[in-house]
Amino acid sequence: MNVGCVAGYLALCLVAGILGRNRRIGFWGFLFCSIIVTPFISLLFLYFASMRKA
């Protein structure tokens, strides 16, 4: 694997974490979920996740 692929993968994981910061499991939950699974499945889960109650 080259460095560009790894950097792109981690960038997508970071995007999933940032988009999930107002969701129930938060930034760190979505970041680790996307690193372990894949960012695409994490983003799909993000679409269906409920918003955090204020």
C-alpha to C-alpha distance for 36 and 45, rounded to whole angstroms: 14
Cβ atoms of 17 and 34 within 8 Å: the answer is: yes
Which residue type, as a one-letter code, is found at position 32? F
pTM: 0.81
Q: What value does the mean pLDDT of the chain take?
A: 88
The answer to whether residue 50 scores a pLDDT higher than 80 is no
Share of the chain above pLDDT 90, in %: 52
What is the 3 state secondary structure string of the chain?
CCHHHHHHHHHHHHHHHHHCCCECCHHHHHHHHHHHCCHHHHHHHHHHCCECCC
The answer to whether residue 27 scores a pLDDT higher than 80 is yes
Domains of the chain, by residue range, sit at 3-48
